[in-house]
């Protein structure tokens, strides 16, 4: 029994005892003698009045119980009632419209803006949610053409781009089976070497302003040169060696001529331009979230909607904002890099979060990292730059603690005015974590989910046939 219910019971028992004592005294020495009631009559009167007192005590108990109920008991009831209520509204501008569905979200939590960033979304109430465009932008000096895309696709899948012919880009970025990564904590490159970081998905990288976990490449063209000569990835001795190998393959000559014009030599720059053009077609605007934002109000479940509201009110949007859910996107590239982890927590040791401090290492391993897109994040585990977290709910717990400081109560020292201010940042409860996870699933592409299911089913069939 918790302390709240002990308090309630205590008040009830005391009210009852005091009430009964007063009543019995009144009936025995005042009302009884005055109205000349016999003993039986006095008991009857006491019982009648006693029922009243009992009812009063009961009311008191109910009132106190409601006030003291743990939020977790009452809140889901309120949530359900609010989220699932379709409302017909009269449109003030256009008169009575056909019954329209409005979705009312109770504000799950009020957060004051904290000093985790400078982005203009600190005023949560005006955050505008946006869908992903149906096409990715391409730079002026490398316009996307069908010929270039076809060539880039071929290169992306060509193992000739690795020193010993064992690896292609698609080895670590599986776009056929679905998620655009390799499903490993850290990638396995040439000669079976394990790299230091988790392979991010290539889906929607076309919308990112900086690439790699530490943001060290500013374009897909520049990025593609990295893995080719990385000794733990494709292991080519030099970019010139890549160029020579592709030149030697006569079947590539026609494809390059179609993509870049005859007489244009095959160069490493054209190789990466073709790969980048192909990558700009790897986008996923087909998610429940995008359908919801485009006007299909049934596209999200009540849990996903609740999670979406929490994602905003907790402040996840201060870093994962815009159509690609990243401060490092071409839509608004003002805040691409963030310190991670910001707040010291036990998660730091548990998941070795400071082991690698990314770009521009800060003090104590608190380095600076590119804010990743969260599109398809439910399909791309394990999570974080070192792939150390294998459960999405745990990734959400980690994020809310290390980036938003949702770990409990604090006294925060403000050095400018020399005062402590109390800050209440309770940990997320399981309900909230699950709602956010549900919302993250709404960022998964329908097409990719289908492909993954299909490839799993095929793997099942292959297994059964063996």
Q: Could you give the residue numbers annotated as active site?
A: 233
Please identify which residue in 16, 149, 167, 283 interacts with ligand HEC, judged by CB under 6 A.
167
For the CA atoms of 326, 218, 203, 249, the dihedral, rounded to the nearest 10 degrees, stands at: 180
Our finding on whether 340 is near ligand HEC (CB under 6 A) is yes
Q: CB of residue 188 vs ligand HEC: minimum separation in angstroms?
A: 6
The span from the CA of 169 to the CA of 191, in Å, is 15
182 vs 290, which CB is nearer to ligand HEC?
182
Cα distances (angstroms) measured from residue 296 to each of 72, 116, 290: 30, 33, 9
Does residue 315 interact with ligand HEC by CB under 6 A? yes
Smallest gap from Cβ 371 to ligand HEC, in A, equals 5
Q: Applying CB under 6 A, does 180 fall inside the site for ligand HEC?
A: no
209: contact with ligand HEC by CB under 6 A: no
Give the one residue of 23, 27, 234, 282 binding ligand HEC; rule: CB under 6 A: 234
Assess 400 for contact with ligand HEC (CB under 6 A). yes
Cβ neighbors of 339 (< 8 A, separation 6 or more) are 362, 366, 367, 368, 369
Q: How far is the CB of 436 from ligand HEC (least distance, A)?
A: 5
Cα separation, 327 vs 321, whole angstroms: 6
Q: Is 275 in the site for ligand HEC (CB under 6 A)?
A: yes
Element spanning 434, H or E:
helix 430-441
Structure tokens belonging to residue 132: 């992903």
The whole-angstrom separation of Cα 404 and Cα 426 is 11
Query: Cα(394)–Cα(428) distance, rounded to whole angstroms?
Result: 11
Q: CB of 455: closest distance to ligand HEC in angstroms? A: 19
The closest of 34, 55, 60 to 45, measured between CA atoms, is 34
How far is the C-alpha of 58 from the C-alpha of 55, rounded, in Å?
Answer: 5
**Which span (60-68, 97-105, 203-211, 236-244) binds ligand HEC, by CB under 6 A?**
203-211
- If one asks whether residue 211 binds ligand HEC (CB under 6 A), the answer comes out as yes
Identify which range of 77-85, 122-130, 131-139, 310-318 contacts ligand HEC by CB under 6 A. Answer: 310-318
Site for ligand HEC in 85-124 (CB under 6 A): 116-117
Contacts of 445 (CB under 8 A, 6+ apart): 203, 284, 286, 287, 375, 376
Between 46 and 383, whose beta carbon lies closer to ligand HEC? 383
Is the peptide bond between 341 and the residue preceding it cis, with omega within 30 degrees of 0? Answer: yes
DSSP string, 177-194: SSSSS-SSSS-B-GGG-B
Rule CB under 6 A: say whether 404 interacts with ligand HEC.
Answer: yes
Residue 308 makes contact with ligand HEC by CB under 6 A: no
Can you say whether the dihedral through the CA atoms of 239, 244, 245, 251 is positive or negative?
Answer: positive
State the CB neighbour count (10 A cutoff) for residue 167.
Answer: 20
Contact between 369 and ligand HEC per CB under 6 A = yes
Stretch that binds ligand HEC, among 71-79, 94-102, 104-112, 397-405 (CB under 6 A): 397-405
Closest distance of CB 337 from ligand HEC, Å:
8
Binding site for ligand HEC (CB under 6 A): 116-117, 161, 167, 169, 171-173, 187, 189, 195, 197, 199-200, 202, 205, 208, 211-213, 220, 223-224, 227-228, 233-234, 275, 314-316, 318-320, 338, 340, 369, 371-372, 374, 377, 380, 383-385, 395-396, 399-400, 403-404, 436
């Amino acid at each position: 029994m918790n302390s709240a219910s002990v308090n309630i019971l205590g008040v009830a028992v005391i009210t009852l005892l005091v009430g009964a004592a007063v009543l019995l005294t009144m009936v025995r020495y005042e009302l009884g003698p005055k109205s000349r009631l016999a003993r039986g009559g006095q008991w009857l009167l006491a019982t009648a009045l006693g029922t009243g007192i009992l009812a009063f005590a009961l009311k008191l108990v109910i009132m106190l119980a409601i006030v003291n109920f743990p939020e977790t008991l009452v809140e889901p009831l309120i949530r359900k009632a609010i989220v699932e209520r379709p409302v017909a509204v009269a449109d003030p501008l256009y008169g009575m419209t056909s019954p329209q569905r409005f979705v009312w979200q109770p504000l799950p939590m009020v957060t004051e803006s904290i000093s985790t960033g400078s982005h203009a979304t600190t005023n949560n109430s005006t955050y505008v949610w946006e869908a992903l465009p149906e096409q990715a932008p391409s730079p002026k000096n490398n316009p996307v053409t069908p010929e270039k895309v076809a060539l880039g696709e071929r290169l992306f899948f060509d193992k000739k781009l690795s020193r010993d012919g064992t690896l292609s880009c698609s080895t670590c970025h599986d776009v056929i089976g679905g998620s655009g990564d390799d499903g490993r904590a850290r990638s396995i490159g040439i000669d079976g070497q394990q790299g230091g970081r988790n392979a991010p998905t290539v889906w929607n990288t076309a919308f990112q302003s900086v690439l790699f976990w530490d943001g060290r490449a500013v374009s897909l063209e520049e990025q593609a040169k990295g893995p080719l000569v990385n000794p733990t990835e494709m292991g080519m001795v030099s970019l010139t060696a890549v160029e020579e190998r592709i030149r030697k393959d006569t079947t590539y000559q026609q494809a390059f001529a179609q993509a870049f014009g005859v007489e244009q030599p095959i160069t490493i720059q054209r190789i990466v331009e073709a790969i980048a053009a192909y990558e700009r077609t790897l986008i996923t605007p087909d998610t429940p979230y995008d359908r919801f934002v485009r006007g299909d109000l049934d596209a999200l479940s009540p849990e996903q909607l609740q999670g979406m509201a929490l994602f905003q009110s907790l402040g996840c949007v201060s870093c994962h904002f815009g159509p690609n859910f990243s401060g490092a996107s071409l839509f608004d590239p003002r805040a691409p890099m963030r310190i991670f982890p910001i707040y010291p927590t036990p998660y730091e040791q548990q998941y070795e979060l400071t082991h690698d401090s990314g770009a521009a290492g800060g003090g104590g391993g608190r380095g600076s990292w590119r804010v990743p897109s969260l599109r398809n994040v439910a399909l791309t585990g394990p999570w974080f730059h070192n792939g150390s977290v294998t459960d999405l709910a745990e990734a959400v717990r980690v994020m809310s603690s290390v980036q938003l400081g949702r770990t409990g109560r604090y006294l925060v020292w403000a050095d400018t005015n020399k005062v402590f201010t109390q800050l209440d940042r309770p940990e997320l409860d399981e309900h909230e974590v699950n709602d956010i996870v549900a919302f993250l699933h709404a960022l998964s592409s329908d097409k990719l989910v289908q492909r993954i299911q299909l490839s799993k089913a095929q793997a099942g069939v292959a297994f059964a046939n063996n």
